[in-house]
Amino acid sequence: MWRPAIRVVMGPQLVSELTRVEGLSLGWQTEIGFARFDGLVSERADCVVVRTPSNPLFYWGNCLILPQPPRDADLPLWLQRFEDEVGRFTPESGHVAIGFDARGPHEPLIQWAAAGFEIYATETLVLQAESTRPMARALEADFHFRALDLSQGPDLQRALDLQCATMEAGFEPGGYRRHRERQLQRYAAMQRAGLGAWFGVWQGDELLADCGLFKAGEASTLGRFQHVGTHPAWRRRGLCTGLIAATLRHGFEQMGLQRLVMCADPEDVAIGIYESLSFQRESRTLSAQRRPPRDRAGAGL
């Protein structure tokens, strides 16, 4: 069942003075929506605290989200705030993850970078139901599209194997696999609750590409894509385009969605695929993460 955010009032402050999830950009709002399903979301005076007790290895399920960029000189303050709100609950991970909206220029986070933080941008793209255009070409005859049943062992294992095969360099493989398995278990619970599904492109019984699409709430017409990936051996075959096109069509026609959100690296080739399917850039967020020693290179979890 979808659960509301936990709101914590600090001292005499009123709720209206807290950082509200609804005031954040659409990218953060839809990301936080997953934590609202099975995690903890607390609105503080200076940030939104997100925790996922079932998956402490998930950086961006255990993080702080700020409504505006931090000052470079405030690094010690935010390190302590993270430890107080998140870090003491996630010793198994040892990461630090602080995200913020970037609606305008901000000062360079030079001290943060020197302290080992990776700072990267994520583009939020939006597609309205009325803006979709027909695919230029369908999947080739050898491939077919279908939803996975993540409550069934074989489908979950195939998705897990594929996601580990697409893991970017720099993660400790065992920890990454545990993280992705816990994420898939979350998605399976959301699937059982009728909030969405996991989809794939198949060749026979082999899963070649996958992604999720879930509602932002039980009665919501807003949907958010999750973890789009294609096996390295099967890239540049049109599978990602076919997967996204079939999934968004399912979302509009079968799930009653009116607006879809996709978040992507603005420098990655995949963003061109999404824009070819009529997604439009809506906003940009920034993330500052510091990995534990076992996960020192590549992108974040």
Count structural domains, the chain.
2
Question: How many of the other CB atoms lie within 10 Å of CB of 157?
Answer: 13
Cα–Cα distances (Å) from 138 to 148, 238, 239, in that order, read: 20, 9, 9
261, part of any domain: yes
Co-location of 254 and 153 in the same domain:
yes
Whose CA is closest to 228, among 245, 215, 214, 211? 211
Position with higher pLDDT, 137 vs 261:
261
Q: How many residues does the chain have?
A: 301
Cβ contact 125:261 at 8 Å: yes
pLDDT digits (tens, 9 = 90+) for 264-288: 999 999 999 999 999 999 999 999 9
In a domain, 54, yes or no: yes
**Looking at the structure, do residues 113 and 195 belong to the same domain, yes or no?**
no
Give CA–CA dist 234/189, Å, rounded. Answer: 29
Instruction: Please check whether residues 177 and 225 belong to one and the same domain.
Output: yes
**pLDDT class for 152, splitting at 50, 70, 90?**
confident
For residues 217-221, give the mean pLDDT: 88
Q: Are residues 179 and 262 in the same domain?
A: yes
Residue ending a domain, choose from 58, 89, 122: 122
Domain that holds residue 14: 6-122
In this structure, the answer to whether residues 112 and 171 fall within a common structural domain is: no
Tell me, yes or no, whether 197 and 265 share the same domain.
yes
Domain boundary among 93, 122, 151: 122
Per-residue model confidence as pLDDT tens digits over 51-76: 999 999 999 999 999 999 999 999 99
Q: Name the percent of the chain lying above pLDDT 70.
A: 91
Tell me, yes or no, whether 104 lies in a domain.
Answer: yes
Both 218 and 241 in a single domain? yes
| 274 belongs to a structural domain | yes
Token reading at 281: 């850039």
Do residues 112 and 136 both lie within one domain? no
Secondary element (H or E) of residue 51: strand 48-51
What CA–CA distance (Å, rounded) separates 148 from 254?
A: 15
Residue 293 belongs to some domain of the structure: no
Same domain, yes or no, for 104 and 132?
no
Same structural domain, 172 and 77: no
Give the confidence band of 5 by pLDDT, cuts at 50, 70, 90: very low
Same domain? For 87 and 213 the reply is no
48 domain-assigned: yes
For the cut 60, the answer to whether the pLDDT of residue 3 exceeds it is: no
Decide: pTM greater than 0.85. Answer: yes
89 close to 120: Cβ distance less than 8 angstroms? no
Q: What are all long-range contacts of 217-220, with beta carbons under 8 Å and residues at least 24 apart?
A: 217/2, 217/33, 217/36, 218/2, 218/194
Residues 6 or more apart whose CB falls under 8 angstroms from that of 17 comprise 45
Looking at residue 136, what is its pLDDT? 56
Whether 179 and 137 map to the same domain: the answer is yes
The answer to whether residue 229 sits within a structural domain is yes
Domain boundary among 70, 92, 122: 122
pLDDT surpasses 70 at 12: no
Specify if 165 maps to a domain. yes
